[in-house]
Chain A
């Protein structure tokens, strides 16, 4: 089974703290994603990476950065956490651009629920 593991299920941080959310996948997927999920807003893409050291901004990148130094690991960084970043964060991965059908299924982690006080 493909596994996407998010290191922390629940975090509580203070305003202004630097926060790292880690995600590791074990299926050699090229693509990795970070989403946030909020009630009534569904999933919103923060950042996307299609290769090591490559990243693209999603719909809501402000206040976030990412790092992908190894293929299996994709980190989301909140440089200075704010209360409006309290949310559920979901990491996902998928095969890269070479999939023959285009039906690149995403495999998600269990999520990291972040509370910023």
Chain B
């Protein structure tokens, strides 16, 4: 079945550091890929998405590129801020499938001033 594997956290960084959160997936066909973010005390919200190979999703300074050859969708940001402290979830959804996403377990990011 489909699966999403994320690096375990927490990831602890100083403000302005470079961020990478790794995400790899297993799925048949060509799924859509997502990053969701959950700020403290809130539900998840979409951060960015990509629907086909080599697409780059971007939002709020975050980027992720859909790499079919390595089945990866790593999240990056060049300079993190304290306000980026949150839990980040990678997810996939099969096109034409049941429209139920498969989520990774989440990676907690803590950014210190």
Chain A residues within 8 Å of B, Cβ to Cβ: 4, 31, 33, 40-43, 45, 48, 50, 58, 90, 92, 94, 96-97, 99, 101-111
Contact = CB atoms under 8 A, between A and B. Distances in A.
Contacts of A42: 89, 103-106
B83 interface: no
A100 to B, nearest CB: 10
A103 B43 contact: no
Nearest to A58: B100
Contact of A43 (B34, B45, B89): B89
22 contacts: A31-B99, A42-B105, A43-B44, A48-B100, A50-B99, A58-B100, A90-B44, A92-B43, A92-B44, A94-B99, A101-B95, A102-B51, A102-B95, A102-B97, A103-B34, A103-B49, A103-B51, A105-B49, A107-B46, A108-B36, A108-B44, A110-B42
Given A50-B99, A102-B97, 7 more contacts: A42-B103, A101-B32, A102-B94, A106-B36, A106-B46, A106-B101, A110-B43
Interface of B: 32, 34, 36, 41-46, 49, 51, 89, 93-97, 99-101, 103-106
A101 B46 contact: no
A92 B103 CA distance: 13
User: Considering the complex of A and B, which 3 residue pairs feature the smallest CB-CB distances, nearest first?
Assistant: A102-B95, A108-B43, A42-B105
Nearest to A42: B105
A97 B99 contact: yes
B32 A103 contact: yes
B99 A111 contact: no
B88 to A, nearest CB: 11
Contacts of A92: 43-44
